Structure 1
Amino acid sequence: MQLIVGQKASQTKKFSKEEVLNFSKLTSDDNPIHFDEQYASKTRFKKTIVQGPMVVSLIGGILGSTLPGPGTIYISQETKFLKPLFIEETVTAWVEIIKIRDDKPIITLKNWIEKEDGEVVLEGQSVILFLENL
């Protein structure tokens, strides 16, 4: 695949209560803001929220599967969480190539995740090594 600056890919997802609970178990995240509706109702968010690392995982999914795809190895990830993502909200994660090094197979990508109304909940940047000749 020919990679070029400006190339984009996306993935749309809705996180279920069951997925959030399973992620809490998998990561030993006991924060009740993610799974206890009564607890969450007393917080500034008023509802349960999806774990930040779970939301960011959508970016990794795109990088490893779509753009650039298999052979992608993370070098770094910078992420800013701007808004909470509530359980059962649909979001679309985006990556866009913003730099391709000439001397090494290293690619920098802009990342963002937005709700259906266009509100951005997360933004950041990934740097990856792309082993395209596997």
Structure 2
Amino acid sequence: MASAGEAKVCHPLGDLKVGDRGTWTREALPKYTEMYAEVTGDRNPLHFDEEFASRTKFGSLVCHGGIAAGTLNALVAEVLPGPGSVFLRQELDYTAPTHPGDTLTAVGVVTSIHETKPVVNMDVEVKSQEDTTVLKGKVVVYKMIPKDTTAS
């Protein structure tokens, strides 16, 4: 608590604290594989050729890893820390495949917060509907704080 005559310093991330947790869930619809390929140019047969994919250790078509990782983008932009957030760093391990039709849940837990900047470190994980971890890692997120344009 600030003493008399001492200004209270407000952190740019407000009440966000270590241990805060957020989730984001999205189904990996088959059409997203085509959309992802359109954006990136990645037409790996693992994603499009059922016969090829069936002969791999995956046994069937798999989604691009970016689709699973994309749930993390939505998590940080929509939930934790929320709108205006961008990644500064990602360290991700892909631990299992995502198949078309899987429901993915991204989970983030705040592990540290910069003392004076809107920068958050988080542990992240993406799980399938079967509770299989398909991706896990650590991210550093910066939250853009718009300038107050109403002040004179």
Task: Tell me the percent identity.
Answer: 26
Cα deviation, 1:76-116, whole Å, max 9, x if unaligned, reads 01100001111111121111111001132211011101122
Query: Under a length normalisation based on structure 1, what TM-score does the superposition of the two structures give?
Result: 0.93
Cα deviation, 1:23-80, whole Å, max 9, x if unaligned, reads 1121100201012212111111111111111210100111011111112121101100
Match of residue 64 from structure 1: 77
* 1:18-33 → structure 2 map (5 Å cutoff): 18-33=31-46
CA RMSD in angstroms, aligned pairs only: 1.3
Query: Under a length normalisation based on structure 2, what TM-score does the superposition of the two structures give?
Result: 0.82
Match of residue 38 from structure 1: 51
Residue number among 36, 59, 76 corresponding to 2:89 in the alignment: 76
Q: CA deviation at 1:133?
A: 4.3
Distance 2:124 2:73 in 1: 10
SS of aligned partner of 1:12: strand
Match of residue 97 from structure 1: 110
Structure 1 unaligned regions, length at least 5: none
Moved runs in structure 1, 4+ residues, more than 3 A?
none
Bigger Rg over Cα: 2
Aligned residues: 134
Q: CA deviation at 1:8?
A: 1.0
Structure 2 unaligned regions, length at least 5: 1-13, 148-152
